Structure 1
């Protein structure tokens, strides 16, 4: 019965080709266990889940099963009800406008419209308008879009609508999410989960996020405390939970893969394949895949994991060039740090992001800035997660002036008010240039990007210009920006 409710449309394709050799065995146990869940028997779990049954003594084991709907209901309705009763759809008036799509133009629930209203989104971005046209009808989709185009809200609105329209089964375990979002970096997972919480504010749906580098037991406790509706996770940490028997993916109705190109680059695809094998076949789930680029590898994965997907492409050039003023300084490698220091101090900039290609470069730049009296911090794969989150909050609140990051750490950071992005070294992949400068000039504000082209990296410029479709003028920095850095005496 659940299968029938999950998909109103019938996707004729069989399970993904990759499922034929290895994946086939994995969904089998999941399907085999479904009748046990219907019959109300406890699900067989590995050792960690054995603790969940003794909950009878400590918390509530069998009672939560019987009481689950009743127990969840107060939590689901208590918060939204009072506010929802004061808000009416008539409070959200958006006039139709030529060439623009309103959220009113889609059939969205009042609870979801209330949250969209709170967030101040009257009109859809181009990718939201196009993607929602397909996904709200249950179709799979592949979207090409950079960060900052509104794609996160596009797939979250689609997920929330699906979960609201299809009632959850009466019997389910805490660790059985109905929607799964996989993203490559911890920062991106945290950001998506934050956006999901804002959009589910009045729906009673529970959002959880799992990332490596954070307390496993703490994440486990939140999982055991309430049902998980939407799970956002990095591949490695999700597999940890899945292999320990804490998370089961056989009830996933909607699966989203965000930044598929980055997951390929970071070597996550074997882990992602393992995860997808645990979910229902592609004909019985909705799959949405987003990527900044449509390489052959990305499209090959999309074919394996989706059924008759709608393909939506949003050109990155508009995102890159319209709101960001771009400069390139031709500078010797030995003068790059002097130029950075003088730009920040002489102009009294307060919120600057600096990108470098390697972790050791990032560390060295940050150490020099701190030594020379500038409030700076670094973000790279070596920084523990709790410290990364603290660093981002300090940067957001203005306690840190300069944030130095690698591309992996900087991807998906959404912080308003970043006035300048500096490319200390030009990226090897032109798409990363667009991602980097997209950290400034967000939400219609203007921003400035300055790239340092030295003897080691200036050869990257032609490929970047080709992607942008225009030349970027190369300038010599004025002499005052190359003055020696005054030494601080501590």
Structure 2
């Protein structure tokens, strides 16, 4: 107690209490709530640095003896960053090929294109960019894997870099909007957009259903949204709550319009488009794998004098995919699937079925029989779907059983085999399914099971492919019963 009295006389009561172990924090310390308090809504902000430069700087809080600064360790100086120049990206002209150098693209964008290893444009990129970079609306028809995503992203990024943003805008006012029918496709487009914008300072955001709403809202409130990629339903949720405003959209993209028609999304898309500027004041790009009468009617409503680009694939299905069809009774399909995967030791296989209940049963039987499998369908929550895809991409999951929700927009390298447990009802879906293998120049194999219930789909698939696929009878040893694992 004598020491405490002496300290009080020497320093005063409050400072002495600071030095006594177990005492409370000084009265001037801010509370946790004061430190963490944030505004609920971010108002319009001006894009100017003047206020920030002239704002008074708060003096640092008075240090106590226990807060004495520690000596800093000397850090090795970082090597200076080497400035990238367009001359670093050398691509020789080639007859019949269009280089990205042939368009007036920003150096930041060209730097990202070089990082991705794209020296030449694909046919749809070369044709679409010729129109869209001039500000025209466009309608593009191309199969999956032709590079259409990069075509519209490059056009969007160029528009946003060439046109300064408005001086005042809400955080939730995107300048470019991309609508896609499935969550997987949205995630893939956003990933490609992040790769292409990494040197530009543009912000890319995604809105998809099945993910944490509040988490997406926090991302929206933290920074300006330049490019928004979204599924129709979740975008409407944000729009109707007043968190997203679409009145500043300069470029709008509708990807896989035919799929949106099939999935019944067009009424929602109409609601969204009504929130954007008139079609004469925005650039609209529409992409579809097929040009049906319904798709073309939508295009007329939403575009102004569009340029039409149609890319006919030299071969509808990739030549890198070796195609087989096994004629097999429905009761023997599972035995054939299990023995094919197990006997050959395949490590990364996609199995497609037409219905969600089929997908669930196949996955459950594979897991029960000791195969590391997972399912992907509309019934699986979004967070689990993303986790499943990552596990499959990393090789932790051996067999991925899916509906056609995974047939488009999912790019996973190293899939050795695609198996159609049931033949698709739409011939185009066959092409999308088998296109999951044989990617990036690799060889792939597709095997389709034609049973008594689905073999009638073969003629229309062969008509689309422009060739016959011979039916084979599976070897007897592949139809042997599956040995049940002991519990």
- Shared fold (TM-score greater than 0.5)? yes
Hey, what does 2:131 align to over in structure 1? 134
Aligned to 1:58: 38
The CA deviation at 1:319 is: 4.9
Structure 2 matches for 1:61-460, cutoff 5 A? 65-66=45-46, 85-316=82-313, 318-460=315-457
Number of aligned pairs?
Answer: 428
334 and 69 in structure 1: CA distance in 2 versus 1, 3 angstrom threshold:
farther
Distance 2:124 2:81 in 1: 28
Closer, same or farther in 2 for the Cα pair 1:110/1:364, shift >3 Å? Answer: same
Asked if structure 1 preserves the Cα contact closer than 8 Å seen for 2:122 and 2:146, the reply is yes
Change (3 A) 1:68 1:215: farther
SS at match of 1:304: helix
What is the Cα deviation at residue 86 of structure 1? 2.5
SS at match of 1:452: strand
User: Is the partner of 1:345 in helix, strand or coil?
Assistant: helix
Deviation readout 1:421-450 (Å, 9 max, x if unpaired) = 110000000010111011111122221111
The higher relative CO (CA closer than 8 Å, separation ≥ 6) is in: 1
Structure 1: distance between partners of 2:99 and 2:417: 32
C-alpha distance in structure 2 between counterparts of 1:144 and 1:185, whole Å: 19
2:253 and 2:152 mapped to 1: Cα distance? Answer: 8
- Report deviation, 1:91: 1.1
- How far residue 359 of structure 1 moved from its aligned partner, in angstroms, is 0.1
Q: State the 1:94 CA deviation.
A: 0.7
Deviations 1:448-480 (A, max 9, x none): 111000000000000000011111111111111
* 1:331/1:245 CA distance change after superposition, 3 Å: same
For 1:252 and 1:63, locate their aligned partners in 2 and report how far apart those are by CA, in whole Å. Answer: 18
2: CA distance between counterparts of 1:220 and 1:231? Answer: 13
Q: 1:154, 1:339 → 2: CA distance?
A: 41
Question: CA–CA distance in 1 between the matches of 2:346 and 2:445?
Answer: 11
Q: Tell me the secondary structure at the aligned position of residue 351 of structure 2.
A: strand
Q: What 5-or-longer segments of structure 2 have no aligned partner?
A: 1-35, 54-78
- My pick for the range that moved more, 176-185 or 64-73, is 64-73
Q: What's 1:36 paired with?
A: none
Tell me if the contact between 1:135 and 1:141 (Cα under 8 Å) persists in the aligned partners. yes
Instruction: Using the TM superposition, give the Cα deviation of residue 84 of structure 1 relative to its aligned residue in structure 2, in angstroms.
Output: 7.7
Q: Which runs of structure 1 show a deviation greater than 4 angstroms over 4 or more consecutive aligned residues?
A: 59-64, 66-73, 82-85
Cα distance in 2 between the residues matched to 1:232 and 1:253? 14
Counterpart Cα distance in 1 of 2:155 and 2:52? 23
CA distance in 1, matches of 2:49, 2:365: 57
Tell whether the 8 Å contact from 1:317 to 1:468 is kept in structure 2 after alignment.
no
CA shift in 2, pair 1:87/1:72, >3 Å: farther
**CA deviation profile, 1:342-376 (whole Å, cap 9, x unmatched):** 11111111111110000000000000010111110
2:316–2:464 CA contact under 8 A, matched in 1: no
Q: Deviations over 1:96-127 (max 9, x none)?
A: 11111111111100000000001111111111
Task: Name which one, 1 or 2, has greater alpha-carbon Rg.
Answer: 2
The TM-score, its normalising length taken from structure 2, stands at 0.85
Q: Could you tell me whether the CA contact under 8 Å between 1:381 and 1:409 is conserved in 2?
A: no
Query: Secondary structure in 2 aligned to 1:320?
Result: coil
Q: TM-score, normalised by structure 1?
A: 0.84
Deviation per CA, 1:188-230, whole angstroms, max 9, x where unpaired?
0000000000000000000000000000000000000000000
Who is 2:59 aligned against? none
CA distance in 2, matches of 1:276, 1:122: 35
SS across alignment from 1:318: coil
Match of 2:478 in 1: 481
**Counterpart position of 1:29:** none
Kindly indicate whether the alpha-carbon contact (under 8 Å) linking 2:423 and 2:448 is maintained by their aligned counterparts in 1: yes
Note the C-alpha offset of 1:409.
Answer: 3.5
- Unmatched runs of 5 consecutive residues or more in structure 1: 1-55, 74-81
In structure 2, relative to structure 1, the CA distance for the partners of 1:468 and 1:84 (3 Å cut) is farther
Task: Report the alpha carbon displacement of residue 280 of structure 1 after superposing the two structures with TM.
Answer: 0.5
